[in-house]
Chains A and B, each alone.
Chain A
């Protein structure tokens, strides 16, 4: 047991930043990202003795984080629907539509544009959002993303391409609003 605790603490210190930042990009809320980070590491602790080393710790922890973020969004949306008796949405935009997000790690002069970008990212499908965040914000290669999401490299490339096209289309629609506000 003490041996497991030592391994766990090493894993925590190595991957805490990775988990927290991915959760922050996903959920766009610091308190929620902290909650998910805690849940991810509790899961890691309990699953550590069953970890079969087929993939690296990094890949394994990425998977747990993504699944926990998606579950967290679904749970929040279902609680919200319970109160307002609303209908089920196709993606997770219910969770995000109330707030705008200012990422603490983004340079001040880019904050306004980044806020728009995060808003548009939330309109992507789950898989498109995941590959875009992993590729663009975490800087992972397509091979690494394919391993994490258990998809082929071609599928990842296709998702990234479709995500970029979708973002450009949505930003194009937002441009007129941006111009009006600037005038």
Chain B
């Protein structure tokens, strides 16, 4: 009984609580932070996006070219040589 009463007292201890007013100088600090923060220009964002796209496309093209340039005859000969030269 005493335990239940205490638990309820603790749970209700915030009843009648009043809101705390923040310091008046917060708005000044906020304005300072707003003016300090450099904003990224839209042009720079587009430049970065274009660079990444070019890089990915170039890689894709190069990988495709490399795959096409491998001669199937070479692969066949290589596999025969590997099979016939087994040491065990």
Q: How far is the CB of A156 from chain B (nearest CB, A)?
A: 19
Q: On chain A, which size bracket covers the interface?
A: 35 or more
Q: On chain B, which size bracket covers the interface?
A: 20 to 34
A113 touches B9 (CB 8 A): yes
Residues of A within 8 A of B75 (CB): none
A117 touches B34 (CB 8 A): no
A103 at the interface (CB under 8 A from B): yes
Cα A117 to Cα B9 in complex, Å, equals 10
Within 33-91 of A, Cβ neighbours of B (below 8 Å) are at 33-34, 37-39, 41-42, 45-46
Residue of B nearest to A107 (CB): B16
B10 touches A113 (CB 8 A): yes
Cα A12 to Cα B22 in complex, Å, equals 11
B34 touches A42 (CB 8 A): yes
Residue of A20, A46, A117, A136 near B10 (CB, 8 A) is A117
Residue of B3, B14, B16, B19 near A17 (CB, 8 A) is B19
Cα A171 to Cα B7 in complex, Å, equals 6
Chain A, residues 14-44, CB within 8 Å of chain B (1/0): the string is 0011001100100000000110011101100
Interface of chain A, main secondary structure = helix
A97 at the interface (CB under 8 A from B): no
A171 touches B10 (CB 8 A): yes
Within 16-47 of B, Cβ neighbours of A (below 8 Å) are at 16-23, 26-27, 29-30, 33-34, 37, 39
Residues of A within 8 A of B27 (CB): 9, 12, 16
Residue of A nearest to B37 (CB): A42
Residues of A within 8 A of B21 (CB): 17, 20
Residues of B within 8 A of A172 (CB): 3, 7
Q: How far is the CB of B25 from chain A (nearest CB, A)?
A: 9
Residue of B13, B15, B18, B26 near A38 (CB, 8 A) is B26
Within 88-138 of A, Cβ neighbours of B (below 8 Å) are at 103-107, 110, 113-114, 116-117, 120, 136-137
B81 at the interface (CB under 8 A from A): no
Residues of A within 8 A of B48 (CB): none
Cα A104 to Cα B22 in complex, Å, equals 12
| Chain A residues engaging chain B, CB cutoff 8 angstroms | 9, 12, 16-17, 20-21, 24, 33-34, 37-39, 41-42, 45-46, 103-107, 110, 113-114, 116-117, 120, 136-137, 164, 167-168, 171-172, 175, 178
Q: List 14 A-B contacts (CB under 8 A).
A: A16-B27, A20-B20, A20-B22, A38-B33, A42-B33, A105-B18, A105-B20, A106-B13, A107-B16, A113-B13, A114-B10, A117-B11, A117-B13, A172-B7
